[in-house]
Structure 1
């Protein structure tokens, strides 16, 4: 009799577990990725819209919802444009930046801004934002991105962990990332890193999916096909997805 009751309880518990599991799957929403240009990216998830490094013309964003959240990685023109940002934000927009970016903001933008240093975490509307260091390693590039000035970001939304590298090289803080579902990784010289270094970093932290972005350099465009080949030859279980980050350029 006791065994029968125990078995029935186990069946009930297992049934509730399956119901909870399948409800979570049914309620989970996909994150839609909109590449705007170079580093400028939109993430759409349900009713939430996140802009990363929105620069360029405001009209490029006209067909998309206004941002609930804006993340700025660094002070350079291809990541931060006060005029563009001012044209895009709405009353309820929250901006997250490192201190160096906040120092260059207008009072109106600063009023909407939360400052986040490397290693810090902010939660906004159920979304977790963690600031990851981004900096150069090569001697000739050290002045481009000094350690502590800019932020990469790990965004956790609906249990998905999404990493944006910002302008960086094959740094230990990237290599030690865990459980990344989607990674956006830069590669361009002389400012960030080579395709080989980017691939080595990705192989080390092994995200489920990687999106090469920010690959226009001086004078050349990085070879994203080589980046993909290097990862595939490593037998890493990483899907490389190529999006069109330069719709206005002829590459």
Structure 2
């Protein structure tokens, strides 16, 4: 993180320009966080588990939108939908079809692209690990997301699934998708807002996630995707205590 960027965002926090907005989605009591930047406001709406809606200065982005389409009924229609990989908690064909508008852009990894209908393939951009795309003022980079622990490699094999870095003229958002603590994540730079997974056995534990986050040092980080087969053994509050450096941990009502 450049000192200029971190100073700007820290000043915004001190000035109260990072605000909390009522969440109008699934349940009363959810809150959305709004982050001011020099390119405009960004509003984060946690939906559930790995699904998030981002209102940005140049449009609304749905990430790994699954579940009942009614979960998204109170949000602006999607200008773009990003899919990290094919697992059912990240990609659902019926949900996707219901949320795709006439002008919605779709961006996926190659494995999901191969599963799409011919109609959606014609409208989609496919990005493999390491590739980038420019979409209406956003630079999008596909970051590898994979397992490294022996015996877990089949969950997310190296080279198949994506995380993403979204760059809005210098305001950078990282979405981890499903991954363990990998060198490509630790090597990230100048991340303003990050979403980092942690659950077992499919991704990583809170300690590994906190260690990686402490190294690439985003200004803000949301722990997400922290329940699953393990029943929620990875505690986001414990994650927050283990993160070191000048990183602020934000909590979202992913499971409320």
TM range (shorter): 0.7 to 0.9
C-alpha separation in 1, matches of 2:50 and 2:74: 18
Residue 233 of structure 2 is aligned to residue 230 of structure 1:
no
TM-score, length basis structure 2: 0.83
Q: Post-superposition shift, 1:91? A: 1.0
Structure with more strand by fraction: 2
C-alpha separation in 2, matches of 1:162 and 1:240: 14
**Equivalent residue, structure 2, for 1:239:** 248
Extract unaligned runs of 5+ from structure 2: 1-35
**Equivalent residue, structure 1, for 2:8:** none
Give the alignment partner of residue 180 of structure 1, picking from 188, 191, 202.
191
C-alpha separation in 1, matches of 2:201 and 2:178: 11
Q: Post-superposition shift, 1:195? A: 0.4
- Structure 1 residue runs of 4 or more that deviate by more than 6 Å after TM superposition: none
TM-score, length basis structure 1: 0.85
Determine which structure has greater relative contact order: mean sequence separation of CA pairs < 8 Å that are 6+ residues apart, divided by chain length.
Answer: 2
Aligned length in residues: 220
**Equivalent residue, structure 1, for 2:22:** none
Q: Post-superposition shift, 1:158? A: 4.3
Q: Decide whether the 8 Å contact of 1:29 with 1:158 is kept in 2.
A: no
SS of the residue aligned with 2:111?
helix
1:115-130 equivalent positions in 2, closer than 5 A: 115-130=126-141
1:140-164 per-residue CA deviation (whole Å, 9 max, x = no partner) reads 2110000111100000124210000
Q: Post-superposition shift, 1:29? A: 1.2
Q: Post-superposition shift, 1:217? A: 2.2
SS of the residue aligned with 2:151?
helix
**Equivalent residue, structure 2, for 1:154:** 165
1:160-218 per-residue CA deviation (whole Å, 9 max, x = no partner) reads 10000000010000000000000100000010000000001001101111100010122
Q: Decide whether the 8 Å contact of 2:39 with 2:171 is kept in 1.
A: no
